Structure 1
């Protein structure tokens, strides 16, 4: 008997079929699913989850799926299955998520959303929302669109000079500096040719547009900075400026409050900032680069005593979630804008700015950044202002010098987790860090080979902890002994318990029980024999050990 869902959700819809659900209602539901996340439509279930059965008209599933394909544009291919609950039949109609806008043959376009009480509903997809949908599917680059009501006179000479200064300061493409103004604008796609002339693109107006025209042409290009000082609002400013000027203004506020500690590493004093400036700049640029400029809202920076929040309108691009950021293919909502920021040197050229954001906290032994408060309509990054672990920072700097390379973000995640949790299995590390399963084993073994972590056990019970070398460097030898010697106490007890229960124990039993190698199993059994806890009987493959009290 099939187990039906008990309630509706964004991807589950119940429809009563007692009075034969109208064809238009089925088409509307399919279109809404296709324009959102896809999902399952159940015909024959009431809104409260009560199963009342399928109408005879809808039992011909071949005809029904063909009808749906004919009545949707582009044709939606659905999968229909008749299910049984023991008394009634229910039709399950599975609808895939489409990477284009789907409409009914009559031209009706709908989507699904959750209401305030978290129950779903189907609502119209309005014309102004279509660019947002296409943008989230990476099918439309809003930043590349021309602005018909503008001219090159709407671009600011001062802001273009600021752009040239940024190229020089941040080591952007030096060849850009050799171009005249028009050639520079064309090279960075700040303008596009329409007929005989050139007009600004959205990217051009965002980066170097005159402030008064920017407000008229792209009113969504708004920013705000708020700084709290012990529950008092110290700074609260909202403005609409060209993007480069906005980043500079916010960065000036940031630098004014970003305090530093210092530690001694050898002959040098190394600063430890509350927030890594490079990580902050990358996070801020990401917010501007990936925000949805077709939505009302603003890029907002809030700095409080316990941490910092950077938020922007527009959720993650289709296929990306906050827990898959580290492994996601680098692509954004505004490719032309993002490419321009990379070429002038402001954004990370590989598209892996997220690594810098994480490393900015992890290299100082702080809590990692948190994207968990992001929604379908906004991305929210929270960077905690936790206290740095100075011993750990010193250790990482010195170990990097020995390895002659920087730690990867995955290595930093693992080392920080083991510093906090002391000992973890591979699964526990994967769950806590979100490191892809195909990268985790090689990263762990690389750290083992480098002498930074150690491993005990085999298979699923294999545990990892910081090496004796690192514990000694942190003046925490007791912590290391606790992690390693716990097995010297626990393993013999488990072997004796198994021997008492079975009456005897073999080397293969110990291998299966403790996930250790045959040589380790022999060593443990031999030690128990020497301590007169077990007695060896037999030889070779017939060898086994019995508890002393069984003799």
Structure 2
């Protein structure tokens, strides 16, 4: 750019003065490179948010008088231009000045740094921190602005992009065979399995939503690509990493095909059998430390929801008592608590093409049941519920427990098999010393499930206690729900119908003596609701005076 054009540019910038995309400094020779980096991050991010192509950092202008006073910042041309490399080395993703201009003004030497706008969807960090502007002031990039930038590419699905140079030769034969088998099982009622196996490879890939009109996508390589095909997704590392922490340490990286290697990673986890034996119990309960279905559900969720534009790997850390799953990208829609009960269905996915393909291969569902499934799996094994850490805005960390936290909690779940999920979730918060709503505290207290005063609540040991007397143990032992449900259906088949009073008379004396009268009534109500929802029985009476019959 000529000196005349630079002079006109400087005059224009001074006339509009400082704003979110222009910053003036007098700046001497020793001006901090770290400070320049902070302004680089802030101005690049603000230029992105305001839809401008660039921003300007100008040295040699007095802030108060708005006049050129000159700057002796790095007068040597090579040293001045080396600032570009310093920016590139410490920004994430790597970015640097588009140009560094020197203007010999009448008032002295002026240095103009031309800063490109942050790329769409990628805020710029300096040494791990994101900066922004509040008027003329430098500040940290708030979550609202961070989300605004990151959501810019939400409409551009990374996983759906076609890779022109990819061919069928880049795909793994074993993964393709597994994909066909999974697809055939999912659609066994629609296609004969032998037909799926006979389809041409391009036909199968299109029907399994892995390709677009025969063209291979990033999803195709991610799920089915050979290990040596990972370069096609560069700069993404295409890795899941298992790391063992504790008395022994180890790690292993797993690349494509993810369809096979999620199971390979699971096999690295030390999944022993554990015996849960409360102090006063007669019989031990033996469970696996981790449920394979729960572990794979967590890992598949990481793959489906990963923000691949951030070029990070999925990390599974195995500690002696837990697994920690980490993936790039904030929780995409809602919060984990929204999905715990299985009632919320997501309206959108970060990677819709990838999510659809994984659903076709029976790896995930797209109805939001994944977190619910993991909670149910943990409850059935009497272990704590999964924990989510969303403190880092650009990542999700989930902890899956492989041990007992509070023996009273596990003992209670072993004995009371009919607890609704909302109460189990609440008891899990009690054992972890997390806050509860006053309404839930009253409910748990009413059911005799917790003791103590807020905030020092704890799971009731008396409810979960198994006595040392064998006779008492038999009387207090709860039968499986299927046993009680069969009593109800047998009664209705024999007598045609039954009122609630007749059902109570049938069951109350057969329920565990560990339950009080109110708990037994609630148990019967839960059994009737379970049978009704599953379509086995129906109420031909009213809500106040029910008349239960077998549903036809």
Q: TM-score if structure 2 supplies the norm length?
A: 0.51
Secondary structure in 2 aligned to 1:205?
A: helix
Matched, 1:471 2:462: yes
Residue 113 to residue 392, structure 1, CA distance change in 2 (3 Å): same
1:312-331 mapped onto 2 (5 Å cutoff) = 312-317=327-332, 320=334, 326=340, 330=346, 331=348
Matched, 1:250 2:270: no
Offset at residue 284 of structure 1 (A): 0.8
* Aligned mate of 1:302, from 313, 317, 335: 317
Once residues 432 and 331 of structure 2 are traced to their aligned partners in structure 1, the CA distance between those partners, rounded to angstroms, is 30
Match for residue 436 of structure 2? 429
Task: Provide Cα deviations, 1:400-422, integer angstroms capped at 9, x if missing partner.
Answer: 3xx4xx742x332112334566x
1:36-185 mapped onto 2 (5 Å cutoff) = 108=117, 115-116=126-127, 120-121=131-132, 138-167=154-183, 172-174=186-188, 175=190, 177=193, 178-179=195-196, 180=199, 181-185=201-205
Offset at residue 456 of structure 1 (A): 12
* Aligned mate of 1:25, from 21, 26, 35: 21
Once residues 117 and 420 of structure 1 are traced to their aligned partners in structure 2, the CA distance between those partners, rounded to angstroms, is 32
CA RMSD of aligned residues (A): 5.0
Residue 139 to residue 156, structure 1, CA distance change in 2 (3 Å): same
Task: Provide Cα deviations, 1:381-428, integer angstroms capped at 9, x if missing partner.
Answer: 23344435556435424433xx4xx742x332112334566xx9xxx4
Matched, 1:291 2:306: yes
Match for residue 227 of structure 1? 244
Secondary structure in 2 aligned to 1:351?
A: coil
Runs of 5+ in structure 2 lacking a partner? 1-13, 24-39, 51-63, 65-114, 468-552
Offset at residue 448 of structure 1 (A): 8.0
Match for residue 72 of structure 2? none
* Aligned mate of 1:396, from 413, 427, 431: 413
Matched, 1:260 2:251: no
Runs of 5+ in structure 1 lacking a partner? 1-17, 38-51, 53-105, 431-439, 477-551
Match for residue 411 of structure 1? 423
- Contact 2:355-2:366 at 8 Å conserved across structures: no
- Contact 1:163-1:344 at 8 Å conserved across structures: yes
Residue 237 to residue 452, structure 1, CA distance change in 2 (3 Å): same
Residue 386 to residue 113, structure 1, CA distance change in 2 (3 Å): farther
Once residues 135 and 153 of structure 1 are traced to their aligned partners in structure 2, the CA distance between those partners, rounded to angstroms, is 35
Once residues 211 and 112 of structure 1 are traced to their aligned partners in structure 2, the CA distance between those partners, rounded to angstroms, is 31
- Contact 1:224-1:299 at 8 Å conserved across structures: yes
Once residues 240 and 264 of structure 2 are traced to their aligned partners in structure 1, the CA distance between those partners, rounded to angstroms, is 10
Secondary structure in 2 aligned to 1:429?
A: coil
Once residues 35 and 452 of structure 1 are traced to their aligned partners in structure 2, the CA distance between those partners, rounded to angstroms, is 56
Match for residue 355 of structure 1? 372
Task: Provide Cα deviations, 1:517-541, integer angstroms capped at 9, x if missing partner.
Answer: xxxxxxxxxxxxxxxxxxxxxxxxx
Once residues 21 and 414 of structure 2 are traced to their aligned partners in structure 1, the CA distance between those partners, rounded to angstroms, is 63
Once residues 475 and 343 of structure 1 are traced to their aligned partners in structure 2, the CA distance between those partners, rounded to angstroms, is 46
Residue 418 to residue 204, structure 1, CA distance change in 2 (3 Å): same
Offset at residue 242 of structure 1 (A): 0.5
Match for residue 255 of structure 2? 240
Match for residue 501 of structure 1? none
- Contact 1:135-1:142 at 8 Å conserved across structures: no
Residue 184 to residue 473, structure 1, CA distance change in 2 (3 Å): same
- Contact 2:160-2:218 at 8 Å conserved across structures: yes
Residue 314 to residue 367, structure 1, CA distance change in 2 (3 Å): same
Once residues 181 and 274 of structure 2 are traced to their aligned partners in structure 1, the CA distance between those partners, rounded to angstroms, is 28
Offset at residue 285 of structure 1 (A): 0.8
Secondary structure in 1 aligned to 2:389?
A: coil
Secondary structure in 2 aligned to 1:245?
A: helix
Q: TM-score if structure 1 supplies the norm length?
A: 0.51
- Contact 2:339-2:368 at 8 Å conserved across structures: no
Residue 343 to residue 271, structure 1, CA distance change in 2 (3 Å): farther
Match for residue 271 of structure 1? 286
Residue 379 to residue 463, structure 1, CA distance change in 2 (3 Å): closer
- Contact 1:189-1:204 at 8 Å conserved across structures: no
Secondary structure in 2 aligned to 1:237?
A: strand
Once residues 23 and 395 of structure 1 are traced to their aligned partners in structure 2, the CA distance between those partners, rounded to angstroms, is 61
Aligned length: 354
Secondary structure in 2 aligned to 1:472?
A: helix
Match for residue 502 of structure 2? none
Residue 241 to residue 35, structure 1, CA distance change in 2 (3 Å): same
